[in-house]
Amino acid sequence: MTIDELDTPALLLDLDAVERNLDRMAADIARTHAKLRPHAKTHKTARLAHMQLARGAIGICCAKLGEAEALCDGGITDILITTELVGANKCERAIALAKRARLCVVIDSIAVAIPLARAAAAAGIALRALVDVNVGQNRAGVAPGQAAVDLARFIDATAGLELAGLQGYEGHIQHVAAPAARRKADTGALDLLSETAAAFRSAGLSTEIVTTGGTGTSGFAAGHAAITDVQPGSYAVMDAQYGAVDGLGFEFALTLSSTVISVRGSAAILDAGFKSLSDDAGAPRLLGGGAAFTFAGDEFGKLSVDGRRPLAVGDTVRLVPGHCDTTINLHDEYVVHRGAQVTDRWAIVARGKSR
């Protein structure tokens, strides 16, 4: 079967482009002192995570415990969960997962630390943990400097926890378009993290792991002396949002195949709307350009087609999602292809694992 013969909407994964993206990131990081710990919150499949590990990644990041469980079921056994785990159920599940994988969690307060510590101590294990530091995103994270040191001391002295270092994700900088402006902003965030790491060392606290970086900043972060590893995710498949960030150099490996179901003048109506494409980062773009997409409902999209690209009922088009992570989360599977030929179908095993 070719991709033009697929029933639509269909989420397509260009395996040749994926492999080039993975190879490029692995090579870029290999030229630095840092290591690669890519984020699976984007692709949500153990198949792709194994490809990243085969290229030298030291482990995999997950945003949610459910994602980590799904990837562990797929054979991934070194996992960092990059958001705080709160609640008795999650503590129990984290301990169960820590018995199957080399698990590391992040903590930004004593209130988060105590239940995890009690659950781990009751199970007779020490749960590896990073202090989660706010370096400017103003989401989760303890303040850098003394507040982070105080929390690290608490973790270090608490039965059931093992301090492994610190995390400081600069998510607010990832989509700054101009490379010089992005580098300048990232330097400020990385300096906060490195100064906090230095304070850890002065206090005799572990800095085995100092982790940060996304697709937009990993190239800068990997060259910073204090950083031990970076955690980009979207680079593997890319999206229109990252496509607007200059200087990244990764390819669009993820597209959605959609069929024209009606034509009204210069507007082509597609069978893909909000149920197939997320809109949190704006509209998708037509692969190759030549038309503007607007959402037209749950099941519909509209392409405003220029005169150079007439479309007819039954034609298929490929759209680059505005945001890969949230679009992938709408689908059960990837249709994997090389060129126009369909080669496989991969279950998106962590789809919907938001708990």
Q: Is residue 167 situated within a structural domain?
A: yes
Q: Is residue 37 situated within a structural domain?
A: yes
Pull the structure tokens for residue 46. 């153990």
Q: Is residue 352 situated within a structural domain?
A: no
Cis before 38 (ω within 30):
no
* Mean pLDDT, rounded, of the chain: 97
Tell me the per-residue pLDDT of 56-91, one tens digit each, with 9 for 90 and over: 999 999 999 999 999 999 999 999 999 999 999 999
Q: Is residue 354 situated within a structural domain?
A: no
Q: 222 is in which domain, residue-wise? A: 15-233
User: At CB < 8 A and 24+ separation, what contacts does 244-251 make?
Assistant: 244/175, 244/177, 245/174, 245/175, 245/176, 245/177, 245/182, 245/216, 246/177, 246/178, 246/179, 247/179, 248/215, 248/216, 249/24, 250/21, 250/24, 250/25, 250/215, 251/14, 251/17, 251/20, 251/21
Same domain, 36 and 108: yes
- Are 63 and 347 contacting, i.e. CB atoms less than 8 angstroms apart? no
Pull the structure tokens for residue 254. 């993820």
Burial of residue 279 (number of CB atoms within 10 Å: 0-12, 13-18, 19+) = middle
- Are 58 and 229 contacting, i.e. CB atoms less than 8 angstroms apart? yes
Tell me the per-residue pLDDT of 31-60, one tens digit each, with 9 for 90 and over: 999 999 999 999 999 999 999 999 999 999
Same domain, 59 and 166: yes
Identify the domain boundary among 198, 233, 268. 233
pLDDT at 322: 98
Tell me the per-residue pLDDT of 168-210, one tens digit each, with 9 for 90 and over: 999 999 999 999 999 999 999 999 999 999 999 999 999 999 9
Same domain, 139 and 189: yes
Short-list 2, 13, 49, 19, CA closest to 335: 13
Structural domain tally of the chain?
Answer: 2
pLDDT band at 309 (very low <50, low <70, confident <90, very high): low
- Are 210 and 189 contacting, i.e. CB atoms less than 8 angstroms apart? no
Pull the structure tokens for residue 96. 């169960």
pTM as predicted:
0.96
Same domain, 151 and 224: yes
Same domain, 92 and 32: yes
Lowest mean pLDDT among 11-25, 28-42, 129-143, 299-313: 299-313
pLDDT at 307: 65
Same domain, 211 and 108: yes
Buried/exposed 54-68: b ≥16 CB within 10 Å, e otherwise: ebebebbbbbbbbbb
The residue-averaged pLDDT of 254-268 equals 95
pLDDT at 251: 98
How far CA 208 is from CA of 29, 79, 136, 141, in Å, comes to 18, 15, 23, 19
pLDDT band at 98 (very low <50, low <70, confident <90, very high): very high
Same domain, 271 and 178: no
Same domain, 289 and 316: yes
Domain CATH number, residue 119:
3.20.20.10
Domain CATH number, residue 255:
2.40.37.20
Same domain, 89 and 126: yes
Identify the domain boundary among 176, 200, 233. 233
Q: How many residues does the chain have?
A: 355
The residue-averaged pLDDT of 159-165 equals 98
Identify the domain boundary among 175, 198, 233. 233
Same domain, 210 and 264: no
pLDDT at 266: 86
Same domain, 50 and 95: yes
pLDDT at 308: 61
Percent of the chain with pLDDT over 70: 99
pLDDT at 96: 98
In terms of DSSP bridges, do strands 35-36 and 229-230 run parallel, antiparallel, or are they unpaired?
parallel
Q: Is residue 243 situated within a structural domain?
A: no
Whether the predicted pLDDT of 280 surpasses 80:
yes
Same domain, 147 and 162: yes
pLDDT at 305: 81
Q: Is residue 353 situated within a structural domain?
A: no
- Are 58 and 78 contacting, i.e. CB atoms less than 8 angstroms apart? yes
pLDDT at 310: 79
